[in-house]
Structure 1
Amino acid sequence: MTDKHRFHVIHGTPTLDTSAEQVRKRVRAMPKPAYMVQCHRCGGREVIETKTGVMMKNGKPVGGTKQLLCVGCLLKGERVLLV
């Protein structure tokens, strides 16, 4: 074996400090009620309830696991689960 590691950590470029990113930072930092759901990535508070693993039985959907997805992130093509 060699002393060189196959993998190494790089520090990627930070996100651009655009006006939109400044708004996101401000929204994420705002206080919110403890009972309100908020996205940890974008700070949005709109959600969609989806079901995964639904099966069809006699022509009707049965079962599945409910999950909450952030609408703002979903519109950008990211699937962010909220708990």
Structure 2
Amino acid sequence: MPKFRVIDGTPAPDTPAEKQRERIRKMAYKHMPSCTSCGGSEYITARIGNVRSKLCVICLTQGRRRVME
């Protein structure tokens, strides 16, 4: 039976877009919600029944439904 070995992975590529997202995430206010994937702070409030969700506008225009916290 082969043994399972864990190796150190390579870090994610440091692209200019990723640097900008990182910078935006760092400068965001604590009381403002921000998207975890793109770092945007614009949101739309969607209501289904009695549940409200804040959806990221940037991700929503790209076809992804990301709930902001």
TM over 0.5: yes
Post-superposition CA distance 1:24-56 (Å, at most 9, x none) = 111112241x3211112211100011122xxxx
Give the letter aligned to residue 76 of structure 1. Q
Task: Choose between structure 1 and 2: higher helix proportion.
Answer: 2
Secondary structure of the 1:49 match is strand
Q: Is the aligned partner of 1:24 residue 2:39?
A: no
Show the counterpart of 1:36: 32
For normalisation by structure 2, the TM-score amounts to: 0.68
Structure-2 change in CA distance of 1:26 and 1:64 (3 Å): same
**Which of 51, 58, 66 matches 1:72?**
58
Larger Rg: 1
Note the aligned Cα RMSD (angstroms). 2.7
Identity level (%): 37
Give the letter aligned to residue 21 of structure 1. E
Q: Decide whether the 8 Å contact of 2:28 with 2:34 is kept in 1.
A: no
Q: Which runs of 5+ in 1 are unaligned?
A: 53-62
Task: Choose between structure 1 and 2: higher strand proportion.
Answer: 1
For normalisation by structure 1, the TM-score amounts to: 0.59
How many pairs were matched up? 67
Q: Which runs of 5+ in 2 are unaligned?
A: none
